[in-house]
């Protein structure tokens, strides 16, 4: 390691860098600096190629241009400018040779490249380049850029991308993956956190086009008109008109009424069977909660309008009957949570039996009854969440386990908690019909009904300690033992070991697998619902962890997606690819 003074750093003796040669030295906490002797003149640059970190001492110099030996990016050796416009510039340092010794001014170690790296992130998002995205995020996190600033850039990209996307784009899925990635990422640190953030960002990457700015309607438009028009355009499937209404609403300071209105439209009976309306609205509401209207409005108005203004087509017979049934029931449905009703007896098993009985009339009638009885909405949501978790925990995995449908059941039920916060009780009461329909629509999965109040049974895990239990389960996930892993999770929990710890460790294993993008929304739901229910004594609460373990194990590819993340971590620490390889 070289000797450092405040301003200048002693780098090497001139005899150690003979003409025509290059050598690497380390400064500070191991940062690699390249020294070049070009015809007797010494140049100093960062040794890490700004592209992917290859050591530049292995590059070639011609006419004052340094060319990296890996992908051939070239830089002005003196000023550091890259000749490829979308590449980062190379950092260069002043050099002084005194009495045969080379000194360099390594400059402020303080991070000063926020704008450059935000631009790099944006480029990575547009070009769907996982490496560039991971590198930019790693550099900014290392430089102390607040995560909110990074997410704001991702959000801006997503808003623009969705606004200019065609109908086929899975915009709701993009939003779900981004918000889920952010929420899961906050539970982890360092490389795990970077991995989750980079996964979330990469999952929303892709090209976006310019579009004309949406401007509010002129004049002062009354809220009653905006509300009435929005409902009418929603019924008629005219999303563009809804978007303009929403921009107008915000312009006229009706912000607080926008999400409730979107929710009210989304739970209308004619949207029965379109689960992602409620799910996606929940995610949009969370963006508004977390980042405020200024940062979220383009995304919320565009996607919100697309959701509630979608064309629906002619419903098939079962759905048409169910729409009529729901329409006739909601006019008389209660909204729950009324103070006088809290003592009402709630027969959860009877309710579950009706929900899972493959008879939509009985299912809706049972729901109508519990709503009229004033059973607390949170209890009903919990029941739906646990029914879905229980089905994930028991679905046969030898043919088609139905994971897409089952995870939608779970995520939809859990999203009703967000709907309650932003849309109110009536919205949730209607949303419960949508969740009940979902169970009916998934009857093909053929999972026998089970009473949620029945004890799950099972033995205790035959291991000497919690550590050994966690290791056993992680090993089952990694070796795809889907027939064992559910039982092991149940036995682990029966042994009194920590579910919080197990979920954290299982989540890490899921996040580092190639299936992470697919799992993130459900993993996030399980984290939140486990927090909500893990400490209750509901006999079925363990099924949340059993279900996610089986799901992740069954779809796992064992294709590690971490190489970009790991390399980006090392890159942000100033290490070259050769240093990383040597490690
Ligand atoms: S051009 Fe240098 S690492 Fe790619």
Question: Where on the phi/psi map is residue 336: left (φ > 0), alpha (ψ -120 to 50), or beta?
Answer: left
Cβ(70) – ligand 1 distance below 6 Å: yes
**Alpha carbon of 56 to ligand 1 centroid (Å):** 9
Q: Report how far residue 519's alpha carbon sits from residue 111's, in angstroms, rounded to the nearest whole number.
A: 34
CA-proximal residue: ligand 1, atom 3 (nearest): 52
Please answer whether residues 239 and 262 qualify as being in contact, where contact means their C-beta atoms are separated by less than 8 angstroms.
Answer: no
pLDDT score of 45: 95
This prediction has a pTM of 0.88
Ligand 1 closest atom vs CA 52: 3
The residues, ordered by sequence, that sit 6+ positions from 129 with a Cβ below 8 Å of its Cβ are 123, 205
DSSP string, 436-485: HHHHHHTGGG------TTS---------SSHHHHHHHHHHHHHTT-HHHH
Cβ(73) – ligand 1 distance below 6 Å: yes
**Can you say whether the dihedral through the CA atoms of 186, 187, 189, 195 is positive or negative?**
negative
Ligand 1 closest atom vs CA 56: 2
Q: Report how far residue 22's alpha carbon sits from residue 307's, in angstroms, rounded to the nearest whole number.
A: 59
pLDDT score of 332: 63
Please answer whether residues 92 and 80 qualify as being in contact, where contact means their C-beta atoms are separated by less than 8 angstroms.
Answer: yes
Express each pLDDT in 221-271 by its tens digit.
999 999 999 999 999 999 999 999 999 999 999 999 999 999 999 999 999
For residue 438, the Cα-to-chain-centroid distance in whole angstroms is: 24
**Alpha carbon of 70 to ligand 1 centroid (Å):** 5
Which of 54, 89, 581 maximizes ligand 1 atoms within 8 Å of its Cβ, making it the mutation to test the pocket?
54
Please answer whether residues 573 and 143 qualify as being in contact, where contact means their C-beta atoms are separated by less than 8 angstroms.
Answer: no
Cβ(406) – ligand 1 distance below 6 Å: no
Residue 150 exposed, middle or buried by CB count within 10 Å (0-12, 13-18, 19+):
buried
CA atoms within 13 A on the CB side of 223: 9
pLDDT score of 335: 46
CA-proximal residue: ligand 1, atom 4 (nearest): 71
Q: Report how far residue 196's alpha carbon sits from residue 204's, in angstroms, rounded to the nearest whole number.
A: 13
Q: Which of 269, 541, 289, 284 is nearest to 429 (CA)?
A: 269
Cα 355 to Cα 10, 170, 270, 501, distances in angstroms:
75, 29, 20, 33
Tokens of 334: 């209660």
Residue 43 exposed, middle or buried by CB count within 10 Å (0-12, 13-18, 19+):
buried
pLDDT score of 536: 84
pLDDT score of 128: 92
Q: Which of 393, 392, 378 is nearest to 346 (CA)?
A: 378
Please answer whether residues 541 and 198 qualify as being in contact, where contact means their C-beta atoms are separated by less than 8 angstroms.
Answer: no
Residue 212 exposed, middle or buried by CB count within 10 Å (0-12, 13-18, 19+):
exposed
Which of 55, 60, 70, 91 maximizes ligand 1 atoms within 8 Å of its Cβ, making it the mutation to test the pocket?
70
Q: Which of 360, 363, 365 is nearest to 330 (CA)?
A: 365
Express each pLDDT in 510-568 by its tens digit.
999 999 999 999 999 999 999 999 778 899 999 999 999 999 999 999 987 777 888 88
**Alpha carbon of 53 to ligand 1 centroid (Å):** 6
Cβ(71) – ligand 1 distance below 6 Å: yes
Residue 513 carries which DSSP code? B
Ligand 1 closest atom vs CA 54: 3
Quick one: which H or E segment has residue 232?
Answer: helix 223-236
Cα 268 to Cα 275, 326, 415, 441, distances in angstroms:
12, 9, 16, 18
- Residues of the chain with pLDDT below 70 are 1-6, 86, 107-110, 167-169, 332-344, 580-583
How many DSSP H helices and E strands does the chain contain? 22, 10
pLDDT score of 340: 42
pLDDT score of 337: 43
Which of 45, 67, 73 maximizes ligand 1 atoms within 8 Å of its Cβ, making it the mutation to test the pocket?
73
Cβ(51) – ligand 1 distance below 6 Å: yes
User: Strand pairing partners for 37?
Assistant: 42
**Alpha carbon of 46 to ligand 1 centroid (Å):** 13
């Amino acid at each position: 390691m070289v000797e450092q003074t405040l301003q200048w750093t002693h780098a090497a003796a001139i005899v150690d860098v003979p003409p025509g040669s290059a050598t690497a030295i380390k400064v500070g906490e191991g940062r690699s600096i390249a020294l070049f002797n070009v015809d007797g003149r010494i140049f100093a640059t960062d040794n890490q190629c700004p592209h992917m970190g290859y050591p530049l001492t292995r590059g070639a110099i011609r006419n004052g241009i340094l060319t990296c030996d890996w992908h051939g990016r070239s830089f002005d050796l003196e000023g550091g400018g890259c000749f490829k416009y979308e590449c980062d510039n190379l950092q260069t340092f002043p050099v002084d040779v005194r009495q045969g010794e080379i000194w360099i001014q390594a400059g402020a170690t303080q991070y000063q490249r926020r704008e450059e790296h935000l631009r790099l992130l944006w480029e990575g998002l547009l070009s769907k380049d996982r490496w560039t995205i991971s590198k930019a995020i790693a550099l900014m996190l290392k430089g102390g850029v607040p995560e909110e600033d990074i997410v704001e850039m991702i959000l801006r990209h997503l808003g623009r991308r969705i606004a200019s996307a065609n109908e086929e784009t899975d915009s709701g899925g993009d939003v779900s993956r981004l918000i889920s990635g952010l929420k899961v990422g906050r539970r982890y640190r360092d490389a795990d956190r970077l991995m989750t953030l980079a996964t979330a960002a990469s999952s929303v990457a892709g090209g976006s086009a310019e579009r004309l700015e949406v401007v509010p309607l002129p004049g002062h438009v009354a809220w009653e008109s905006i509300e009435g028009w929005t409902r009418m355009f929603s019924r008629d499937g005219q999303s563009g008109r809804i978007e303009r209404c929403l921009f107008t609403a915000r312009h006229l300071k009706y912000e607080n009424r926008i999400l409730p209105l979107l929710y009210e439209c989304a739970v209308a009976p004619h949207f029965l069977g379109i689960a992602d309306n409620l799910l996606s609205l929940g995610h949009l509401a969370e963006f508004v909660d977390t980042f405020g209207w200024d940062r979220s409005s383009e995304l919320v108005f565009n996607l919100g309008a697309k959701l509630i203004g979608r064309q629906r087509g002619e419903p098939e017979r079962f759905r048409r009957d169910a729409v009529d049934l729901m329409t006739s029931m909601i006019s008389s449905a209660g909204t729950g949570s009324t103070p006088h009703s809290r003592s009402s007896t709630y027969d959860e098993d009877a309710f579950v039996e009706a929900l899972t009985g493959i008879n939509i009339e009985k299912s809706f009638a049972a729901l109508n009854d519990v709503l009229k009885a004033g059973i607390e909405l949170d209890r009903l949501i919990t029941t739906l969440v646990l029914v879905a978790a229980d089905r994930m925990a028991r679905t046969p995995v030898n043919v088609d386990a139905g994971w897409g449908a089952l995870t939608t059941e779970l995520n939809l039920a859990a999203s009703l908690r967000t709907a309650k916060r932003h849309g109110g009780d009536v919205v949730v009461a209607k949303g419960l019909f949508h969740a009940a329909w979902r169970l009916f629509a998934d009857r093909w999965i053929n999972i026998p009904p089970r009473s949620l109040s029945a004890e799950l049974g099972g033995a205790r895990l035959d291991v000497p300690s919690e550590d050994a239990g966690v290791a056993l389960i992680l090993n089952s996930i990694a070796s795809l033992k889907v027939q064992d892993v559910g039982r092991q999770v149940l036995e682990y929990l029966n042994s009194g070991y920590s579910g919080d710890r197990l979920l954290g460790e299982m989540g890490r294993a899921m996040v580092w697998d190639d299936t992470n993008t697919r799992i993130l929304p459900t993993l996030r739901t399980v984290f939140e619902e486990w927090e909500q229910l893990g400490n209750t004594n509901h006999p079925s609460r363990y099924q949340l962890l059993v279900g996610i373990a089986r799901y992740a194990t069954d779809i796992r590819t064992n294709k590690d997606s971490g190489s970009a993340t790991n390399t980006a971590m090392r890159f942000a620490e100033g290490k070259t690819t050769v240093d990383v390889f040597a490690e």
